Structure 1
């Protein structure tokens, strides 16, 4: 299996590459500058400059793009559109590192986590921009996408336990009543989905077991 990880130098991207390499998969890092991931091969190119020929031959493309500043938040939509347009009509699957703010907190799917009073104000613009990108992704029937939301507490420095609970559109809690997962365990779930391909054109979510 051949996997390309876009933005492989980021925190999530590096751990996804590391997990895929650990399993002996053929991994290529897509980076703007020097490759700092565990991948032996790399494409040195900006995401927005990627072409169909750059991504030819990959079974899976992982989108680990992230933007944090007010002026760059719209790039969540723009970058995802560019990758979708690039992969349109092809058999290559697109796996997206998503956000938790758009997870639903009721069975009717009328209220999202980011709508709650306890959701930090500082993260609402990010959650909103990522939620918008997800809604735009849902309209694409020409791309074999899967959007993977982390738990509400997404811990960059947490341990790799290798155990997680797979959820769907709704916020899922573990047996301890927690919604938490480390980047390392998220990477385990991401690579599992890359290998299995069980959730085409679906949003799934993960929480530590």
Structure 2
């Protein structure tokens, strides 16, 4: 049966890669964005701010992909408020919510006491965004009324990297490949995300991807 998904905040580069990946598998994709015109490959585009979305807008989809991102001090709180809005809309439904997260919240120790953003080499410029995404992960963990999955990329998330067609599936901890690297392209991240929607293996879990 053909999958039917919605991508929210669909104008961003990660979102467009997810749309392209899903479209390549023959899925029906509805994109919700703030631009006047469709900037991606989705069959259906709806100009709609996240806060204007209703439960009716998201009903009937197999999954909703939350690709929202914010990076300025005044917009960082929107990571939490937009996610809460989507969680509330999907509460008690069978629709999956798949959230594009960040790498800063990945743990670097087996005891899960230290997260990547807390390490000495983590760039100061990225810490505010990492902290905002750490908060959203903490908040989503408390929701057992939504079929959510939170996906973190590798530490080096490459917008223009190639699609290799393979990746390593990780969990809560920062995963390195056989070359000691933590890197993945947007395209391979999208590949893993769509695989996860198809498999449905990690409900109410955080997972991560790294390039093989």
The TM-score range, normalised by the shorter chain, is over 0.9
Residue 37 in structure 1 maps to residue 45 in structure 2: no
Q: In structure 2, which of residues 151, 166, 170 is the aligned counterpart of residue 167 of structure 1?
A: 170
1:37-59, Cα deviation, whole Å (9 max, x unpaired): 10011221101110000011101
Report the counterpart of residue 22 of structure 1 in structure 2. Answer: 24
TM-score, with length taken from structure 2:
0.98
Count of aligned pairs? 209
Following TM superposition, by how much is the alpha carbon of 1:153 offset from its aligned partner in structure 2, in angstroms? 0.2
SS at match of 2:79: helix
- How many angstroms apart in 2 are the aligned matches of 1:17 and 1:9? 10
- How many angstroms apart in 1 are the aligned matches of 2:11 and 2:78? 18
Residue 3 in structure 1 maps to residue 5 in structure 2: yes
CA RMSD of aligned residues (A): 0.5
Following TM superposition, by how much is the alpha carbon of 1:19 offset from its aligned partner in structure 2, in angstroms? 0.3
- How many angstroms apart in 1 are the aligned matches of 2:63 and 2:45? 15
Report the counterpart of residue 135 of structure 2 in structure 1. Answer: 132
1:120-143, Cα deviation, whole Å (9 max, x unpaired): 000000000000011000000000
1:126-168, Cα deviation, whole Å (9 max, x unpaired): 0000000110000000000000000000000000011000000
- How many angstroms apart in 2 are the aligned matches of 1:42 and 1:89? 26
Structure 2 counterparts to residues 43-54 of structure 1, below 5 A: 43-54=46-57
Structure 2 residues without counterparts, runs of 5 or longer:
none
Structure 1 residues without counterparts, runs of 5 or longer:
none
Q: In structure 2, which of residues 105, 110, 115 is the aligned counterpart of residue 107 of structure 1?
A: 110
- How many angstroms apart in 1 are the aligned matches of 2:5 and 2:165? 20
